[in-house]
């Protein structure tokens, strides 16, 4: 059985090709038939509905489809390729550098960590006073503080990069 993950926008669908006439879409079986009209035009019957489909391949996994006049950009991967892609995304996110920016203008009351220190997700980093309120800024990721751009007692503008985490 051939298994694929089809991504359309943010939605993913599991496709399993059982045989020439049976396909499972998100674990629901459908009867299908395919007729090739030309190099790019097909008629596909899924259960009792017939769709006119044109397709062009953009890359090894990217396709453009027009289904009954509706344009779709689609990514088709095998289940294994999709799992590998997810692992790469997680690894890339883990290597991401985070700039900790001031969410609002204010006075930097406390810097709770020093340059070179390790931090964990959710750990308090900074106390920022704005509109007579103390706001604790927490770490969005784990890593090492590589740069601190301000000192306690200094004013910061909105979106000023206070520190960096790698």
CATH of the domain at 64: 3.30.700.30
Residues spanned by the domain of 54 = 2-94
**Bridging pattern class, strands 161-165 and 28-36:** unpaired
Q: What share of the chain is helix, strand, coil (3-state, %, to 5)?
A: 10, 60, 30
Per-residue pLDDT reduced to its tens digit, 93-144: 666 678 899 999 999 999 999 999 998 888 899 999 988 899 989 888 788 9
Same domain, 78 and 116: no
Ramachandran angles phi, psi of 55, nearest 5°: -145, 145
pLDDT, position 122: 81
pLDDT, position 127: 93
Q: How many domains does the chain have?
A: 2
pLDDT, position 117: 94
Same domain, 155 and 80: no
The last residue of one of the domains, among 45, 78, 94, is 94
Beta strands in 79-132 (DSSP E): 98-101, 106-111, 118-119, 124-130
Q: Is the dihedral of CA 124, 126, 131, 132 positive or negative?
A: positive
């Amino acid at each position: 059985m051939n298994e694929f993950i089809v991504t359309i926008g943010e939605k993913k669908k599991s496709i399993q090709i059982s045989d020439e006439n049976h396909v499972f879409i998100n674990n629901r079986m459908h009867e299908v038939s395919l007729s090739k009209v030309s190099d790019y035009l097909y008629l596909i019957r899924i259960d009792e509905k017939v769709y006119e489909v044109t397709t062009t391949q953009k890359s090894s996994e990217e396709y453009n489809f027009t289904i009954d006049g509706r344009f779709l950009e689609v990514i088709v991967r095998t289940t294994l390729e999709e799992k590998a892609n997810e692992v790469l995304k997680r690894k890339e996110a883990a290597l991401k550098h985070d700039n900790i920016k001031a969410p609002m203008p204010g006075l930097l009351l406390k810097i709770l960590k020093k340059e070179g220190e390790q931090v964990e997700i959710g750990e308090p980093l900074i106390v920022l006073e704005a509109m007579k309120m103390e706001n604790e800024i927490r770490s969005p990721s784990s890593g090492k503080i590589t740069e601190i751009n301000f000192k306690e007692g200094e004013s910061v503008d909105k979106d000023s990069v206070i520190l960096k985490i790698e």
